[in-house]
Structure formats: structure tokens, C-alpha cells
Amino acid sequence: MNLHKFTNLIRSRKNLAVGLGLTLVIFAGAARLPGISQKHKSLHAQTSQIMTNNSQPIKPITIETTDKNGNPKTNLAISPDFQILALGSPDNTIQIRDTSTNKLIKTLSGHQGLVNLVQWSTDGKTLASASRDKTIKLWNVSTGQQIATISGYSGKAADLAWVWSRDSKTIAMLLSSRFANANLDNTIKLWDGKTGKLIKTLTGNKSKISTMSWNPHAQALAVWSQDGKIQLWNTNTGNLLQTLAEPGNSSYRVSWSHDGKAIALSPVSSSNTIKIWDATTGKLLQTLDHKFTSSVMSLTGFEWSPDSKKIASTSVTGTFIWDVSTGKKLQEFPGLYVASAVWSPDGKSIAMGGQEQNIKIWDVTTGKLLKTLYGHDSSVSNFDWSEDGKILFSVGMDSTIKIWDVATGKLLQTLFGHSGGIFSVSWNPKTNTLVTWGREIPIQISSINLWKIDLNNLVG
């Protein structure tokens, strides 16, 4: 498999989950949704289980994110805590269901046409829906009441790009057809997520907009255009801060710092540098130059440290740790075709994995190798840590999810729930839910598994 395509797929999945929300189909155990196929695509479904001390198996909830042709299913969305499903129904309503039991919690009525796109706010309290009746509605899910109706939508899911701010107060929206009886002008409209009031209109983009991403504090918005440029906007003032572009590049890896003060980007093709920009002024702060002598050694990705003071970048030769304030390289950890390097919650260590089929945990300050974890039978693709940093979750192209005791290096559990490679894993400590995203057979189908896990009750 081409490494760049492999790594880009991993990172694009995570970005989609965080920035744009997930549009999903659920079919788990006895849960039956009307009109949805009941055939489970995973070859391991019947043996997939996590055992508690009393030997009771807990099977995952399985969610399809695409149809058999690989097209995303947009009339469904799962809440950020993965507890509630919003489903566009054939009767023009939206069903709100419990993901574990499939119990109908509430029905949202008001659209006069089929609902073809839904998305949760980041806090899971508000739902945005788009319908063939050419309207967009904002809903208070708790009360079931409409907050606002926005007109001018063409009624096609492909015509709409929108994304909620991290604080759920604002939704940035772009309609790539006619909006409010005005001709297409590539403008972005910012709406109040609680009242539906139009706050601001961002104008000045010269090319069709494809993607948007808020910074963590909802003070800036990054906007991708099809001409290969990224615009950085101050959403408080409505001012365009900077247009970020690299000559000859049309796609980038982009990541906001956790404190929201900076944004880092690197071209996907022939990548040798990471540029860091100030999110308030648009000023270029640093250029992290890897000084690769061959295109084969280009970057495969990067990730901010929890305190936003460092960046870990990955390549076919290993992982590099950089000081953001000085632009200096602090550490270099060797590895073969590294697909992912993920910081521990305290930022003191980093888990790294790739084609070597093992996981290495490094001390970021001393550069010491702390642990090497063996158990995957193919490339390791992604990680996540428990909130206290004591447990590590890993996934790979061997279709397995593994749970590790970091202190001892002991493999606590192996889970089987996908029939193809797994690209992403995420742990939600508030709901004790492990979320894995992977491929199924046939390979065009993507799916998510939700696992309810008691970390204090694992069987090694």
C-alpha cells in the first residue's frame, strides 16, 4: 500500500470525526433500524468480544459510515459522546435514538421534505438538519423544539458545507448554489447556534470552498479552497488574516494547536517542512525544516503536544520532536514507515508505530526508549491513551484492537470487530466508550465499532 495514501486516510478520518461530524448507520445486535440492511459485514463479528472477570462477553455496536459503493451516509449522525443517533426518516421527520438499545427517544417534526443531512453541535445539545424542502433547521434536541429555519438551500447535500465551532455557539455555513436568492459568491455565513441569527458574512474568497475548520476557541476559521489555498479568518472581526499557500501544492496536512493560538500546515506532496502561523495576526512564526535529501523521506504527518509547545512529526525514517518557540529539533526517534505518533496526556512520552508491527514508547525529554510492545501482525496505524496515561489503545491493518498496560507492557486484551484494516481509535473516558474506525469487506465499506469497556475489569 502507498504510505502517503495510507497515512492520509488515517488522518483524514480523524479530522472528519472532529471537524465535520460523523454521518452514520447503526445496526447492532437486536437493534433494527427501518430500511437498513441487517447483514453484518465483519467476518469476526460472532467472535468479537471483550471479557469481563465474570466471563460475560460484551459485543460492540457496529456502525456503517458508507454504503457499498463507498459513498458517505449523510442522513444520520451520532452525538459526540456516541450515545445518541439522529436519523432522517422517510416521513420527513428526524428520529433521535439511543445507540445502545435503538430505543426511540424523540421525534423532531417540521421539515416538509426528506432530511438528507444532519450534524450535531460539538456539545451534543443542538442538531442541524438540511432537507429537500430547501431549508436548514437548528433544533434543541432536549426539548425537541426548532430554534431557527434558514432558507435558500438547494436541497442537495452536495451543495452544503458547514461546521460547528468547538464551543457550539456558532455554525459556519457555505451553500455552493443559491443562498437567500443571491448568486454564488463563495461567502461563508456565521450563524448563532442558539438563536439562528446571522452573525457575520465572510467575503473575499476567489475560488470554490471545499472545507472549513474552527480553532479550539472559536476565534478563527481556516478555509480550504479548490485553488490550493487556505484562508485564515478572525471570526470576531470578520477580517482575513492570511492566505496560506505553497507553490504547486493543492492539499495540506493542517492542525490547530490545542490552545488555539497557532495553526500548523505541511503540503501532502513532497513535504519537507511544517509552517506554523499565528492564529491572531496571521504572522508566520516558525518553519520546521526537516532537510530531507530525498522525496522518499517526506513527512507522513505531525501532531501538537498537549501543552502546544512542541510538535511531533513522522516520516518513513522515524519521529522528530520540535520546539515550537525556537524551531529547533529536540529529539529523533528511529522507526520504519511511521504512520502515527501520539502524545501521552501529560506530554512526557509518545507512542509510535508503523510498518515494524510493534509499538515503541519514548521519553520525550531524555530520548530514552521506555517500552516496545509486540502483538500486532501487520502495520500499526493509530493510538489513543486513557485519561491517566496508564492504558494505551492501538489499532492496525491486522484488523485488531489491542489494549496495553503501559507500565508493564502487558497486553490486556485483543478485540476483533472489523474485517479490514483499522485506521483510527479514540477513547471517551466520560462514557467508557472505545471508538474504532476501519474498513470492512467489501473494502469500499467503512464502519465504526463502539465498545463499552471497564478499564478496571480487563482480562489479560
In this prediction, residue 24 carries a pLDDT of 31
CA pair distance 400, 382, nearest whole angstrom: 11
- Going from N- to C-terminal start, the domains of the chain cover 1-72+335-460, 74-153+161-169+190-195
> Cα-flanking dihedrals φ and ψ of residue 111, to 5°?
-75, 150
Q: Within a 10 A sphere around the Cβ of 336, how many other Cβ atoms?
A: 12
Cell of 11: 488522518
CA pair distance 16, 20, nearest whole angstrom: 5
CA pair distance 168, 187, nearest whole angstrom: 21
Bridge-based pairing of strands 25-26 and 61-64 is antiparallel
In this prediction, residue 55 carries a pLDDT of 35
Write out residues in the chain with pLDDT < 70, as ranges.
1-58, 175-185, 206-207, 246-250, 270, 295, 459-460
* Topology match between the domains 1-72+335-460 and 74-153+161-169+190-195: no
Model confidence over 65-88: pLDDT tens digits?
A: 887 788 888 888 999 999 999 999
In this prediction, residue 247 carries a pLDDT of 63
HSE of 1, CA atoms in CB hemisphere, 13 A: 16
1-72+335-460 in CATH: which number? 2.130.10.10
Q: DSSP string covering 135-173, please? A: EEEEEETTTTEEEEEEE---S-GGGEEEEE-TTSSEEEE
In this prediction, residue 112 carries a pLDDT of 95
> Cα-flanking dihedrals φ and ψ of residue 392, to 5°?
-120, 135
In this prediction, residue 401 carries a pLDDT of 95
Burial class (CB in 10 A: 0-12, 13-18, 19+), 291: exposed
CA pair distance 141, 157, nearest whole angstrom: 21
For residue 59, give the DSSP letter: P
Bridge-based pairing of strands 50-51 and 220-225 is unpaired
Q: Within a 10 A sphere around the Cβ of 366, how many other Cβ atoms?
A: 11
In this prediction, residue 68 carries a pLDDT of 79
CA pair distance 147, 144, nearest whole angstrom: 9
Q: DSSP string covering 75-102, please? A: SEEE-TTSSEEEEE-TTS-EEEEETTT-
> Cα-flanking dihedrals φ and ψ of residue 12, to 5°?
-65, -35
In this prediction, residue 421 carries a pLDDT of 92
The greatest distance separating any two alpha carbons of the chain, rounded to the nearest whole angstrom, comes to 64
Single out the residue of 331, 321, 270, 274 nearest to residue 297, CA to CA: 270
pTM above 0.75, yes or no: yes
CA pair distance 456, 434, nearest whole angstrom: 14
Cell of 399: 484488523
CA pair distance 130, 179, nearest whole angstrom: 13
Bridge-based pairing of strands 230-234 and 188-192 is unpaired
CA pair distance 370, 345, nearest whole angstrom: 16
CA pair distance 97, 118, nearest whole angstrom: 14
Q: DSSP string covering 98-125, please? A: ETTT--EEEEE---SS-EEEEEE-TTSS
For residue 66, give the DSSP letter: B
In this prediction, residue 10 carries a pLDDT of 38
CA pair distance 399, 126, nearest whole angstrom: 35
74-153+161-169+190-195 in CATH: which number? 2.40.10.480
In this prediction, residue 350 carries a pLDDT of 98
